């Protein structure tokens, strides 16, 4: 089983966090997403090593991506929860994964964002991923 097949649900959760920010901020660019993902990878690698994360100077939009994706990471790590909206607020259940798996998923998305950006321009990754996240 390939990586993207094994972790499809996690990748979709994390990319939903990115697309959510993009839909609210149409001027978000791939570079800001890439920078936020690099900061998140550093954050979780530093946590794993019990060291302080490097300081990243993120734009306001990149900070929004960082926080949005981090929430989904924390949910998948079993540290936070999400609830449905509407009349019956219910806590959503997700399969818990390890910090190594979160880091690998973030790296996979980062590589995708870099590839799409290199070949298609400023919002190529965002436009591509938005087609698949509803």
Does residue 35 sit within a domain? Answer: yes
pLDDT at 20: 96
Domain count, the chain: 1
Percent of the chain residues topping a pLDDT of 90: 75
| Across 21-32, average pLDDT | 97
Could you tell me how far CA 118 lies from the centroid of its own chain? 19
pLDDT at 33: 98
Full residue range of the structural domain in which residue 58 is found: 29-79+94-134
Does residue 39 sit within a domain? Answer: yes
pLDDT tens figures, 30-47: 999 999 999 999 999 999
pLDDT at 110: 98
pLDDT at 89: 52
pTM for the model: 0.89
Does residue 3 sit within a domain? Answer: no
pLDDT at 100: 97
Q: Which two tokens stand for residue 93?
A: 């259940």
The whole-angstrom separation of Cα 12 and Cα 78 is: 17
Mean pLDDT over the full length of the chain: 90
Contact 124, 30 (CB under 8 A): yes
pLDDT tens figures, 55-87: 999 999 999 999 999 999 999 998 876 654 555
pLDDT at 5: 86
For residue 48, pLDDT beyond 60? yes
Contact 4, 108 (CB under 8 A): yes
Does residue 55 sit within a domain? Answer: yes
Does residue 104 sit within a domain? Answer: yes
């Amino acid at each position: 089983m390939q990586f993207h097949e094994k972790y499809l649900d996690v990748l979709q959760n994390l990319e939903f966090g990115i697309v959510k920010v993009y839909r609210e901020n149409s001027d978000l660019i791939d570079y800001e997403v890439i920078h936020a993902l690099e900061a998140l990878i550093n954050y979780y690698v530093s946590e794993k090593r019990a060291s302080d994360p490097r300081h990243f100077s993120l734009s306001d939009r990149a900070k929004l991506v960082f926080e949005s994706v981090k929430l989904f990471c924390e949910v998948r790590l079993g540290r936070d929860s999400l609830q449905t909206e509407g009349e019956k607020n219910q806590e959503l259940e997700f399969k818990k994964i390890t910090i190594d798996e979160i880091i690998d998923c973030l790296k996979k998305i980062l590589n995708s964002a870099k590839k799409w950006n290199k070949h298609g321009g400023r919002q190529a990754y965002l436009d591509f991923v938005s087609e698949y996240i509803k």
